[in-house]
Amino acid sequence: MADPTLQRLIEEVEPIVATGDTEQKVTAAIAERLTAWLAEGPAVDYDYRRPDGDKYVLYPLHVDPEGRFSIAAAVWNVGQSTPVHGHETWGVVGILSGVEHEVAYAKPRAEGVKLDPVAETKWSAGEVTVCCTTDDDVHWVSCGGPEPCVGIHIYGADIGTWSRRAYDREDGTVTWFTSGWSRWPPLSEVPLAASQPT
């Protein structure tokens, strides 16, 4: 059984996704719920927010059995970053702790073109943003402060198994990748007695 605070977030997200509304309506409603959830100061088990010494990591908090959405904890240690990448689905990101540094790029319409940065932002604990929709889906993310950054990401797919684009920022060359999950099973499937939030 999931931690009750996580279970409540899952139960709030599920009917929003099930409406089949537009990406804009779905992401706006999820952003509102995620903002409220973060404001409660939820405790996420340390094993699902632990930084890795070598690379940023993606932990599954919940993966919908039908693959309609997933909730992940993305963790960057100090100095770590992602490649420039897309998601191929909608996404909402909220910061649990630390600072996330994001550079957003205009979504390229063809390969062979240098990527055009359009915004640079630092997101702090409690802040929430819609990170991606079909037409706005390319960014680079790093730890933006002196301590690890933990973000809670909600996507419109099983993001750990979803095929996505990575971009060379200088020439727009695309390579496809699957991020994978850094841990299994999802936290929502871990018995509460075995999960010790700290």
Per-residue pLDDT tens digits of the chain, which is 198 residues long: 467 899 999 999 999 999 999 999 999 999 999 999 999 999 899 999 999 999 999 999 999 999 999 999 999 999 999 999 999 999 999 999 999 999 999 988 877 789 999 999 999 999 999 999 988 899 999 999 999 999 999 999 999 999 999 999 888 899 999 999 999 999 999 987 555 544
Instruction: Give a yes or no: residue 113 inside a domain.
Output: yes
Determine, yes or no, domain membership for 191.
Answer: no
Query: 100-131 pLDDT, tens per residue?
Result: 999 999 988 877 789 999 999 999 999 999 99
Query: What φ, ψ does residue 21 adopt, rounded to 5°?
Result: -65, 175
Distance CA 171, CA 140 (A): 15
> Which residues lie below 8 Å from residue 180, measured CB to CB, with a gap of 6+?
58, 160, 161
CATH (domain of 13): 2.60.120.10
Residue 42 lies in a domain: yes
Write the CA distances from 118 to 82, 92, 95, 136, integer angstroms: 18, 18, 21, 11
Annotate 54-89 with DSSP letters as a single string: SS-EEEEEEE-TTSS-EEEEEEE-TT-BPPEE--SS
Regarding pTM above 0.75, the answer is yes
Whether residue 117 is contained in a domain is answered as yes
Looking at the structure of the chain, the number of domains it has is: 1
The type of residue at 149 is: C
Query: Computed from CA positions of residues 39, 4, 52, 165, in that sequence, does the dihedral angle turn out positive or negative?
Result: negative
Indicate whether 190 belongs to any domain. Answer: no
In a domain, 114, yes or no: yes
Whether 193 is covered by a domain: the verdict is no
Structural domain that includes position 148: 4-181
**DSSP track, 20-44:** ---HHHHHHHHHHHHHHHHHT----
Written as six digits, the tokens of 130 are 């819609």
Q: Is position 192 within any domain?
A: no
Torsion of CA 32, 27, 56, 158, to 10 degrees: 120
Q: What angle do CA 24, 3, 143 make, to 5 degrees?
A: 60
